[in-house]
Amino acid sequence: MITLNRNWASALAAISWCELYTGSIEHVIPDLEQVIRISPRDPFIGAWYNRIGAVHLLQSRVDAAIFWFGHARSANPVLSSIRANLASVYALKGETERAAVELAEARRLSSDDRYSSIARLKTARYWGVSKIRALFEATYFTGLRKAGMPEE
């Protein structure tokens, strides 16, 4: 369908999700920037900001990740994954108190106990191909451990 309409925001956003989890992360940010230009008031914009932040996190660009996760939190303050992402990047930056606050909020907002441990979180969703899983391990999960999330 994207060949019929290059400005179909939700289709481009779905493609960016696929690119992220299949290892083509270099395409994610440009694709989402186009999505945001096409649909700047879209109700899903917080998810798109969150995904841009995730790419920055996976590439160890902590300050850029904080910037985008902050926009995501402003757009959708009740999404637990955004709060967990912020907990991770704040911890990686050494801001452990802010990280602990965001992790507590992620736990409160979550409809399940996925943020109770690293092991539980790893089973709660798909983390991508091995290259992407390794990046999540080196950044996201490392940050959550520093934020106080136990292994088990």
* Interval 131-135 mean pLDDT: 98
0.85 surpassed by pTM: yes
Nearest-CA neighbor of 135 among 14, 25, 19?
25
**Kind and range of the H or E element at 92?**
helix 80-92
Domains, the chain, with CATH or none = 42-147 (1.25.40.10)
pLDDT tops 60 at residue 1 = no
Q: Which two tokens stand for residue 149?
A: 């999330």
pLDDT reported for residue 8: 87
User: Residue type for 123, please?
Assistant: T
Nearest-CA neighbor of 134 among 21, 19, 16, 48?
21
68-81 confidence digits (pLDDT tens): 999 999 999 999 99
Nearest-CA neighbor of 118 among 101, 102, 136, 131?
136
Is residue 147 within 8 Å of residue 99, measured between CB atoms?
Answer: yes
Q: Which residues make Cβ contacts (< 8 Å) with residue 72, sequence separation at least 6?
A: 46, 47, 49, 50, 53, 79, 82, 85
Residue indicated by tokens 């959708």: 76
83-101 confidence digits (pLDDT tens): 999 999 999 999 999 999 9
* Interval 97-126 mean pLDDT: 97
Nearest-CA neighbor of 103 among 65, 66, 145?
145
